[in-house]
Amino acid sequence: MLPDFGQSVLQLGHERSVSTPRLNETSSDSSSDRIISKMRRPALIRTGIIVGTTAAVSLLHYQTATSHVWLHQLFQRGYYVPVLMAALWFGWRGGLFTAVFSGVLYAPHILVAWKGFPAYSAAQYVEIGMFFVVGGLTGFLADQEKRQRRKVEDTARKLSEVNAQLQASFEQLRRADRLSALGELSAGLAHEIRNPLGSIDGAIQILRRPELPEATRHEFGTLAEQEVSRLKGLVSNFLEFARPRIPRREPTEIGPLLDSVQGLVTESARMSGVKVRIEIPNNLSSTWIDPEQVKQVFLNLSINAIQSTPCGGEVVLRGIRMADSVAVEIQDEGSGIDPENLEKIFDPFFTTRANGTGLGLSIAYQIVSQHEGHIGVRNNHDKGVTFTVTLPVASVKSRTEASSALRQA
């Protein structure tokens, strides 16, 4: 028989049953027996296959006449099958034990049936020696492979644990970052609200004076209305930033979208004496975006560019085809952005303009991020800045999803 691997299995089952909290002795013993039985079954089946195969090969030897030499040579090679199976399943110990078992069954046949053929008998004994060589070497290599596999599995498990720890740390950092951003938003909102509230409070104090001339009363009433409108716009922008709408994405051509933006800013550009020009290549891919949201981004950037460009200057809206995305550049000829402010340009409430809220670029950044895109800014070599918005192209999958959504609608 092959080595009894059940003892180690029994020990493993005993350790598992000891380490598991037991509600009562009877249920624990029953559970342990079931576990051990399940674990022993594959080993017993494999042992039976090896023993049965070895016995079958030996029986063929004993039942075949010696006149059929070629059959005996074939059966002799058949011993390698159980030897190799034992080596692969149970390692070098299993391979050597099966070689011993095969030799014990085969040697009497050599001794009795081939005693009149000493040269052939010697060759058969050498073959038995080869059982040991093949079984031991194959088992050794199988053990090496199992050890290497266990190392790989242990490494993968440790990497998985490290990755889980990194994910947990990353989530903690994200929560801390959100709390920090919330604090900055609250401070910025309070600062932005305080100024118009101060103006409204001053206007109300003046309007309370009974001897105030009607023209002055109208002036300060208008001032109060303007500051209230400013507060409404500030709160609306803040809510849009804090609770952005989920994009309704669809395949969209960038060319018509930029044409629409150009039409919306034409009057503002004419009043500022600025020319707006569009550069779109013919082979520009369609994008997978919410056209209204992205138009808002382009419109905001175009208005900023027109306001930054002096009279007689030019603003360029340029489309660029990339490998798996489309880039849109909005280039102005203004005074540029100070290098120390480039990293803060998308921060909420950061603005260099006296009447700006500092939320326009933050909202644009958020919209582009929701579209799995990227927005960046750089100073030009000569004058002005260029904002670059990179958006994903409409793939076959996205087109299929859009068609399905339209059919369902």
Position 317 scores a pLDDT of 94
> What are the residue ranges of CATH 3.30.565.10 in the chain?
250-408
Q: What is the pLDDT of residues 113-156, one digit of tens each?
A: 777 778 877 888 888 888 899 888 998 998 999 899 999 999 99
Nearest-angstrom CA–CA distance, 44 and 50 = 10
117 contacts: CB under 8 Å, gap ≥ 6: none
- Average pLDDT rounded to a whole number, residues 362-371: 87
| Phi/psi of residue 275, nearest 5 degrees | -95, 135
Instruction: Tell whether the model's pLDDT for residue 268 goes beyond 80.
Output: yes
Position 320 scores a pLDDT of 92
pLDDT confidence bin for 188, thresholds 50/70/90: low
Position 374 scores a pLDDT of 92
Structure tokens given for 91: 């390692």
Nearest-angstrom CA–CA distance, 288 and 325 = 9
Position 183 scores a pLDDT of 64
pLDDT confidence bin for 10, thresholds 50/70/90: very low
Is 250-408 assigned to CATH 3.30.565.10? Answer: yes
pLDDT confidence bin for 29, thresholds 50/70/90: low
- Of the candidates 93, 89, 77, 91, the residue with the CA atom closest to the CA atom of residue 130: 77
- Average pLDDT rounded to a whole number, residues 23-40: 55
* Verdict on whether the full-model pTM lies above 0.95: no
pLDDT confidence bin for 318, thresholds 50/70/90: very high
